[in-house]
């Protein structure tokens, strides 16, 4: 089951360059929350703060609170936080020297050690949830680089899901995929929200409208407006949101 995620007064910088200013956002459990906004508005930085990936960048700093359920993400161990809050990136990036199986198993092996009896069950479970099992079940030992881009992206989703996270963060997960693969990812997101809380960054407003229950609009490192997707797209409160969703800029 998914857990609610909440960002409270989040600010983030790269060195002296402040890119996120006091952002607060509720991401309810088992909902899809979309984050939209022009390039450079801090969308990626925001979600990278949620799973503590931001701090792996040299000289990057942040302040504020992130709550997973009622636990403070920044009070737990960073590794634990990342296991509970999975992430998928824009560029499908399965580990190219590993097989399909090894890719999905990696997270569990890093956490629990190399040989676990439940490994193949868990790998199968994750691949089934990611809608990839039927396509790869006979070629689990093959290199992951033999898959198509769309399959590779679903493999990355399976890799994240193998750890049974509560939240799945997706940073423009379909931006380099063809329309058909994009559709499959969107269908998958729709299925996944029963089990996980999902936060998706997207440039594609139609995509946000299609998959998201709630949407937040970012501009220049600030969260301008948030609400249900229908509200935000049809009756935005802020002029800047209106301009953006009607395609007048960005």
Partner 1 sequence: MVKRQGLRLSRKLKNALITTAFILFTGLSFLALLSIVGNVLYHAMQPLITHVETFQIESNELIFALKELVLSLWLVLLALVISTPLALLTALLITEYRDCCFTSLIRLFVDVLAGMPGILAGLAVYGLALSLFQMPTSKIVLILVLFLFLMPKLSKGFAQVFNEIPFHYREAAYAIGANKKQVIFHILLPMTVRALSASVLLGAARTLGASAPLLLFGVGVHYLAVDIYALAVRGSDGQAADYALVLLLLLGVVFSIAAWFDRDVME
Ligand X SMILES: Nc1ncnc2c1ncn2[C@@H]1O[C@H](COP(=O)(O)OP(=O)(O)OP(=O)(O)O)[C@@H](O)[C@H]1O
Write out the residues near Mg ion by the rule CB under 5 A.
44
Quickly tell me which residue has 């009622």 as its tokens: 70
Please count the other Cβ atoms lying within 10 Å of the Cβ belonging to residue 141.
9
Between the alpha carbon of residue 245 and those of residues 13, 38, 42, 176, 241, the distances in Å are 27, 11, 17, 22, 6
Q: Does 42 bind ligand X (CB under 6 A)?
A: yes
Residue 41 binds to ligand X (criterion: CB under 6 A) = yes
Of these partners, ligand X, partner 1, Mg ion, none, which one is at the site of residue 40 (CB under 5 to 8 Å by kind)?
ligand X
Which residues of the chain form contacts with partner 1 (CB under 8 A)?
51, 53, 56, 58-59, 79-80, 82-83, 86-87, 89, 91, 93-98, 106-107, 109-111, 143, 145, 156, 159-160, 162-163
**Distance of closest approach, residue 80 Cβ to partner 1, in angstroms:** 8
Contact of residue 96 among ligand X, Mg ion, partner 1, none (CB under 5-8 Å per partner type):
partner 1
The tokens describing 149, both together, are 């881009």
CA dist 104 and 106 (Å) reads 6
Residue 136 sits in the site that holds ligand X (CB under 6 A): no
Do the Cβ atoms of 144 and 99 come closer than 8 Å? yes
Which option in partner 1, ligand X, Mg ion, none does residue 42 bind, with CB closer than 5 to 8 A by kind?
ligand X
DSSP code string of 174-241: TTTS-HHHHHHHHHHHHHHTTTSEEEEE-S-HHHHHHH-SEEEEEETTEEEEEEEHHHHHHS-SSHHH
Instruction: Tell me which of 9, 40, 137, 146 binds ligand X, using CB under 6 A.
Output: 40
User: Minimum Å distance from CB 168 to Mg ion?
Assistant: 17
- The yes or no reply on residue 207 touching ligand X (CB under 6 A) is no
Member of 2, 6, 32, 43 binding ligand X (CB under 6 A): 43
18: contact with ligand X by CB under 6 A: no
Distance CA 187, CA 157 (A): 13
Binding track over 52-91 against ligand X, x by CB under 6 A: -----x----------------------------------
DSSP-assigned letters across all residues of 38-80: STTSSHHHHHHHHTT-GGGSTTEEEEEEEEETTEETTTS-HHH
Judged by beta carbon, residue 51 or residue 226, the one nearer partner 1 is 51
What's CA 239's distance to the chain center, in Å? 28
Given the rule CB under 6 A, which residues bind ligand X?
14, 17, 19, 37, 39-45, 57
């Amino acid at each position: 089951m998914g857990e609610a995620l909440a960002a409270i007064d989040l600010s983030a910088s790269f060195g002296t360059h402040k890119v996120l200013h006091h952002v607060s956002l509720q991401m309810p459990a088992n909902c899809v929350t979309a984050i939209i906004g022009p390039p450079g508005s801090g969308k990626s930085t925001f979600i990278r703060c949620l799973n503590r990936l931001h701090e792996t960048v040299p000289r990057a700093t942040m302040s504020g609170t992130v709550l997973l359920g009622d636990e403070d993400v920044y009070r737990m161990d960073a590794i634990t936080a990342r296991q509970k809050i999975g992430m998928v990136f824009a560029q499908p990036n399965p580990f190219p020297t590993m097989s399909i199986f090894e890719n999905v198993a990696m997270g569990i092996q890093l956490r629990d050690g190399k040989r676990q009896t439940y490994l193949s069950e868990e790998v199968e479970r994750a691949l089934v949830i990611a809608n990839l099992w039927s396509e790869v079940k006979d070629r689990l030992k093959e290199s992951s680089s033999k898959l198509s881009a769309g399959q590779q992206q679903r493999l990355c989703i399976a890799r994240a899901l193998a750890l049974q996270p509560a939240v799945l963060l997706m940073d423009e997960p379909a931006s380099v995929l063809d329309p058909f693969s994009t559709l499959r990812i969107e269908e998958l997101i729709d299925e996944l929200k029963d089990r996980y809380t999902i936060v998706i960054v997207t440039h594609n407003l139609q995509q946000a409208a299609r998959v998201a229950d709630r949407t937040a609009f970012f501009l220049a490192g600030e969260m301008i407006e948030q609400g249900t997707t229908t509200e935000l797209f049809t009756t935005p409160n802020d002029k800047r949101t209106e301009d953006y969703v009607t395609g007048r800029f960005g």
